[in-house]
Amino acid sequence: MSAVDTGRDRSLEALVERIVDGHPRSIARAITEIEDQTARGESILQQLPEPDQPAAVVGITGPPGVGKSTLINALITELRARELRVGVLSVDPSSPVSGGAVLGDRIRMARHASDPGVFIRSLASRGQIGGLCRTIDRVIRLVHAAGFDLLIVETVGTGQVDVAITEVANTNVALFAPGLGDEIQALKAGILEVADILVVNRADSPHTRGTLLELESMLALRGTEQRRVPVLATIATTGEGVAELADRILDLASSD
Amino acid sequence: MSEHQEQKGSATVSQGDGKPGDAEAQRAWKERLTDLLGPDDRRTNRSGLEVRALYDPNDWDSSRYLEDLGYPGEPPFTRGIHTSMHRGRPWTPRLVVGYGIPEDYNKRMHHLYELGLTGLYVSPCNSHMRGYDPDQVEPVLLGTCGTLIATKEDMDLCLDGLPIDRESVALGDTAPYTLSALMFNVAKDRGIAWRTLAGTSTQSDYLSHCAALGMFFRIPLDAQRRALLDHVTWMNETAPRWNPMSVVGQHYQQAGATPAEAMGFALSAALQHGMDLVDRGADPEAFLARFSFFFDVSLSFFEEVAKFRAGRRVWSRLVRERFGVKSAQAKRLRFHVQTSGADLTRQQPLNNIARVTVQAMAGIFGGLQSLHTDAYDEAICSPTEQSARIAVATQHILRDEAHLADVIDPLGGSYYVERLTDEMEEQILSVIRIVDEAGGMFEAVRDGVVQSMIGRSALQHQRAIDSGEQVVVGLNRYVIPESEDGDEQVLQRPDPERIARYLDRLKHFRETRQQRPVQRALDELARAYESTDQNTYQAVIRAVAAGATHGEICGRVRETVGFGNPPVVV
Amino acid sequence: MNHRGKVLLTKIGLDAHDRGSRIVATYLRDAGMEVIYTGPWQQIPDVVNLADQEDVDVIGISSLATDHALVPGLIQALREAGLGHIRVVVGGIVPNAEADELIQAGVARIFHPGASRESIVQEVEALAAEARTTIEQDHQA
């Protein structure tokens, strides 16, 4: 082994140490390496210690404009009050033509930017369909190793495609806006089948009750052998219903 | 609206009957034209409408003159909202003036008055817009884009010796409406009855701020809605000559909306505000008569003329349909116009004088009630004394030398302008329909529908400039080296010493006033915002009277209802 | 690297005009870059944290009023946080005299009104590559 290689290894070890200590810049750099699928990124992953327990990963999915980021923002506040360290990975689609992306979600979580107990990272899907990026499982492993108790993965999508998220998340939250009518029918084969919690956000709308009832009746049609899927109402902007959502998420995370 | 749309089909009636619009003659001419220009000669305006080479009697059904145009001062007001229009009531030249400390503003205004400006306009510093006092932000940001105003004392200095009892005053005011509260308290001290005050709260339309500018967005959307309704209610009762509701189309267009979209959004916003007031039990005949509007005018000359003509027609019919109003007063689209800063260039800035002149003409032919002409250096900084003088002179030249105020709606009856007015009307209506389907303007703005449409149009216009399809002189065509630009570009920064002195004075004001009444008034303000039935604007008026500053009032309101930022729509 | 640059587009200070920054976001995306877009009124410490967590190569500040006067403070804060490799560009209305001051403070490039799409895309991409090279050299050091 050459001297240079040894030097590199030492820098790698130091980097991994800092990641495990939860040092934000080191985590951020390592994510870039993983996203870019570099050899260094692979080495970092290989050197990460085996976790004591599996990561608690919460997938939050919903159509654009339903208030996902705002709800996650409120959820972070709630989870921080319970002294949990929270990692958020917010995935936005890359342009299929240019490969570029505009990532605008984290701005709604801006007030957590300077909290060391919160790590937020925007990821572009980089050509992967299903609302996720192909390196997501590795990024999750990294952020988990950095000591974040709960990982939230935010993805855009409606209907069938977002089923992809169930491969990486062990708790799946699907978000709805009040007042969707026919769209519910289209959901039957999609997210409704895999979601663990359904949430109607913006519950201050007069259409909320109707949507809650529709979702409940859809779930009833799925039969009794399924486990009970709660249907919750939240108002992300005021934080209403968020504590209950956090309760449900943590219940499921601990039962897994 | 449907009765109007039907006529468009019947406008192309001529069937080779030898009349002016003879189909045979038209076809023959078209063939000759195609030989000359080629088959691919297709042009569109900013609203995406095709612009043909020629319009003829087939494009306008003059038999519907009374229904679609009518006489000035009569619905549907296509030709103007007043009987005599500019001939009897020339428009008010109104310059947005905001610079430095209150004394600087006052000096500038007196100077402009001597030059013949009549409309007062107070444009506050960005710190004020965001709801802060000048001592709450970095000093380097102060006084360049507007005047520092925090206290009643400041407002008094701004308006010193200016005739607020005779001339109407435009205030860049929004929720919680401290600027008008400062002025009303100054008026009271001067012994001027509130009932006699005339003017406009020009930035009261929170929906346009939320969707397109955000500068004035100080508190959350719901609280803005409530504050506006309180402001309108209080003003309508207390100062009947004041226009508390100024619906802003200008922000949308400056943010990139097409002229048709900007008009459509503004009218949709006005419908929303109107519906909200009706829900409160207000009488539409009364409040609609005091609605005023504020539009942008771009360089797309004929399109802008048609936008204003169509906007008036659409509005007068919409309010009849949706509010059931009968009086002509309640159906008039009264508006102020500002020439578009987005059309101006940093390159060869003196060229902007020509641009502003054309924009102003479009606004005048469009039947505006008051006009702000941008200074030629507006694309670089706030106007200097010289550039402001030219901006005012431009209006005087158009009115007194070119005699543009002599004839009412001089472009009315032009085949092109009438056809374009009809087409713009259709476009405006289709925008209003989209907003209706999104649940009305409040929801369309909250959900980002409006923002997405604006973003698309802005990008489209920029692409046209990038590709050279839209020529911008000095920028993508006829470019010269910057050293030959012919104009020194200086950002006029207020003297730091004057700013420091101002900050000392503000500190002194805070320290020497009676503190107890201020605290009590701010507590009252918080209670008003917490309640559902108290008028929040009344509480602002009282807080100012007790000596509270702008920043303290905004701060207390934010403590009570939260800090509001408009949604970011990418 | 297999991406063409990660850029944070933001506004600090008091102004809120965002027509320009939205268009630039689209330009950079269409050129294959990944753009973090924020609304206006960001605080400098938050911008530094955001740039850090997102591991961006370039920060673009849009300024149409006088907010560019705060940019030297941002550059200082980035350097103090050990993020001196991030290239900072300013777009919008900056008078010539003040442009020189910004360049001296460490601004990599100022895009005035009328800057072409090509120049914006090319220069931002080049600056991103520069920043990335600096980082990789750091790894090896």
Integer Cα distance of A179 and A177 in angstroms: 6
- Complex confidence, ipTM: 0.90
Q: Are C14 and B141 in contact (CB under 8 A)?
A: yes
**Residue C97 confidence class, pLDDT cut points 50, 70, 90:** confident
Which residues of A fall within a CB distance of 8 Å from C25?
102
Last residue of a domain, one of A30, A49, A68: A49
Interface test with A, best of C8, C26, C49 (most A CBs within 10 A): C49
**Residue A4 confidence class, pLDDT cut points 50, 70, 90:** very low
Integer Cα distance of B268 and B249 in angstroms: 10
Residue C141: is its pLDDT beyond 90?
no
Query: CB of B568 within 8 Å of any CB in chain A?
Result: yes
Structure tokens at B237: 């009762």
* pLDDT single digits (tens) B524-542: 999 999 999 999 999 999 9
Residue C139: is its pLDDT beyond 70?
no
**Residue B21 confidence class, pLDDT cut points 50, 70, 90:** low
Q: Do the Cβ atoms of A65 and B570 come within 8 Å? A: no
Distance from CA of A104 to the nearest CA of B (A): 6
Distance from CA of A52 to the nearest CA of B (A): 40
**Residue B384 confidence class, pLDDT cut points 50, 70, 90:** confident
Mean pLDDT for B321-326 is 97
Query: CB of A108 within 8 Å of any CB in chain B?
Result: yes
Helix (H) or strand (E) holding C109: strand C109-111
In the prediction, which pLDDT does B570 show? 63
Integer Cα distance of B71 and B509 in angstroms: 55
Which residues of B fall within a CB distance of 8 Å from C98?
491
Are A59 and A27 in the same domain? Answer: no
The closest alpha carbon to B551, from B103, B154, B92, B91, belongs to B154
Are A109 and A234 in the same domain? Answer: yes
Are A8 and A57 in the same domain? Answer: no
Residue B20: is its pLDDT beyond 80?
no
Chain C residue with Cα closest to B378? C93
Residue A242: is its pLDDT beyond 50?
yes
Residue A196: is its pLDDT beyond 50?
yes
- CATH number of domain containing A66: 3.40.50.300
Integer Cα distance of B461 and B459 in angstroms: 5
Are A78 and A205 in the same domain? Answer: yes
Q: What percent of chain A has pLDDT over 90?
A: 42
Secondary structure (3-state) at B360 = helix
**Residue A256 confidence class, pLDDT cut points 50, 70, 90:** low
* pLDDT single digits (tens) B98-123: 778 999 999 988 988 888 777 778 88
* Between B285 and B146, residue with greater pLDDT: B285
Query: CB of B220 within 8 Å of any CB in chain A?
Result: yes
In the prediction, which pLDDT does A184 show? 60
**Residue A181 confidence class, pLDDT cut points 50, 70, 90:** low
Mean pLDDT for B40-57 is 95
Distance from CA of C73 to the nearest CA of B (A): 11
The closest alpha carbon to B477, from A22, C116, A58, belongs to C116
How far lies B450's CA from each of A176, B255, C23, C82, in Å? 21, 11, 16, 41
Chain A residue with Cα closest to C137? A8
Structure tokens at A154: 């935010």
DSSP conformational letter for A61: E
Which residues of A fall within a CB distance of 8 Å from C54?
28, 106, 121-122
Q: How far is CA C68 from the centre of its chain?
A: 12
DSSP conformational letter for B495: P
* Between C16 and C107, residue with greater pLDDT: C107
Distance from CA of A62 to the nearest CA of B (A): 14
Are A11 and A37 in the same domain? Answer: yes
Which residues of C fall within a CB distance of 8 Å from B137?
14
* Between B139 and B15, residue with greater pLDDT: B139
For tokens 């955001």, the residue is C50
Mean pLDDT for B402-425 is 98
Q: From edge to edge, which strands make up the β-sheet containing A86-92?
A: A118-124, A86-92, A150-156, A56-62, A171-176, A197-200, A231-233
In the prediction, which pLDDT does B489 show? 60
Residues sharing a CB contact under 8 Å with residue B23, sequence separation 6 or more, in sequence order: B14, B15, B16, B58
The mean pLDDT value of chain B amounts to 91
Residue C113: is its pLDDT beyond 90?
no
The closest alpha carbon to C60, from C116, C7, C6, C115, belongs to C7
Of B220, B448, B568, the CB nearest to A107: B568
Mean pLDDT for B444-459 is 93
Instruction: Report which residue type is found at C116.
Output: S
Are A90 and A201 in the same domain? Answer: yes
Q: Are B235 and B200 in contact (CB under 8 A)?
A: no
CATH topology for B69-467 is: TIM Barrel (3.20.20)
Distance from CA of B570 to the nearest CA of A (A): 6
* Strand-pair category, B335-339 with B292-297: parallel
In the prediction, which pLDDT does B4 show? 46
Residues sharing a CB contact under 8 Å with residue B29, sequence separation 6 or more, in sequence order: B54
Of B220, B447, B568, the CB nearest to A104: B568
In a 10 Å sphere around its CB, with 0-12 CB exposed, 13-18 middle and 19+ buried, how is residue B256 labelled? buried
Q: Domain C6-140 belongs to what architecture?
A: 3-Layer(aba) Sandwich (3.40)
pTM of the model: 0.89
* pLDDT single digits (tens) A23-81: 999 999 999 999 999 999 999 999 999 888 888 999 998 887 788 888 999 999 999 99
Which residues of A fall within a CB distance of 8 Å from B570?
102, 104
Residue C120: is its pLDDT beyond 90?
yes
Expressed as residue numbers, the domain containing A68 is: 52-255
Are A11 and A93 in the same domain? Answer: no
Integer Cα distance of A24 and A121 in angstroms: 10
Looking at B225-384, which runs of residues are DSSP E strands?
Answer: 242-243, 246-248, 292-297, 335-339, 370-372
Distance from CA of C1 to the nearest CA of B (A): 26
Mean pLDDT for A192-218 is 85
Distance from CA of B225 to the nearest CA of A (A): 16
Other Cβ atoms within 10 Å of B534 Cβ, number:
15
Are A133 and A177 in the same domain? Answer: yes
Secondary structure (3-state) at C6 = strand
Looking at B167-308, which runs of residues are DSSP E strands?
Answer: 169-171, 199-201, 242-243, 246-248, 292-297
**Residue B487 confidence class, pLDDT cut points 50, 70, 90:** low
Return the domain boundaries, chain B. Answer: 69-467
How far lies A81's CA from each of A86, A117, B238, B486, B513, in Å? 11, 11, 48, 61, 41
Helix (H) or strand (E) holding B306: helix B301-323
In the prediction, which pLDDT does A237 show? 83
Distance from CA of C51 to the nearest CA of A (A): 10
Q: Are A120 and A106 in contact (CB under 8 A)?
A: yes
| Phi and psi at residue B99, to the nearest 5° | -170, 140
Chain C residue with Cα closest to A122? C54
Binding partners of A (≥3 Cβ pairs within 8 A): B, C
Which residues of B fall within a CB distance of 8 Å from C74?
none
Are A125 and A245 in the same domain? Answer: yes
Structure tokens at B138: 């970095």
Integer Cα distance of B483 and B487 in angstroms: 9
User: Of the given ranges (A235-239, B519-523, C120-124), which has the lowest mean pLDDT?
Assistant: A235-239
Total number of domains in chain A? 2
Return the domain boundaries, chain C. Answer: 6-140
Q: Do the Cβ atoms of B568 and A102 come within 8 Å? A: no
Residue A115: is its pLDDT beyond 50?
yes
Binding partners of C (≥3 Cβ pairs within 8 A): A, B
Q: Chain B 431-450, CB below 8 Å of chain A: which residues?
A: 447-448
Query: CB of C34 within 8 Å of any CB in chain B?
Result: no
Mean pLDDT for C19-23 is 91
Of A36, A113, A124, the CB nearest to C50: A113
Of C32, C46, C52, the CB nearest to A25: C52
* Between A246 and C94, residue with greater pLDDT: A246
* pLDDT single digits (tens) C28-79: 999 999 999 988 889 999 999 999 999 999 999 999 888 899 999 999 999 9
The closest alpha carbon to C21, from C43, C5, C36, C6, belongs to C36
In the prediction, which pLDDT does A130 show? 62
Mean pLDDT for B75-100 is 91
Structure tokens at B566: 């408009």
Residues sharing a CB contact under 8 Å with residue B338, sequence separation 6 or more, in sequence order: B96, B250, B294, B295, B296, B297, B371, B372, B374
Q: Do the Cβ atoms of C70 and B141 come within 8 Å? A: yes
Integer Cα distance of C118 and B472 in angstroms: 17
User: Of the given ranges (B11-25, B73-87, B329-343), which has the lowest mean pLDDT?
Assistant: B11-25
Q: Are A179 and A209 in contact (CB under 8 A)?
A: no
User: Of the given ranges (A68-72, A78-82, B84-88, B378-382), which has the lowest mean pLDDT?
Assistant: B378-382
Q: Chain C 76-135, CB below 8 Å of chain B: which residues?
A: 93, 95-98, 112-114, 116-117
DSSP conformational letter for A95: P
Residue B30: is its pLDDT beyond 50?
yes
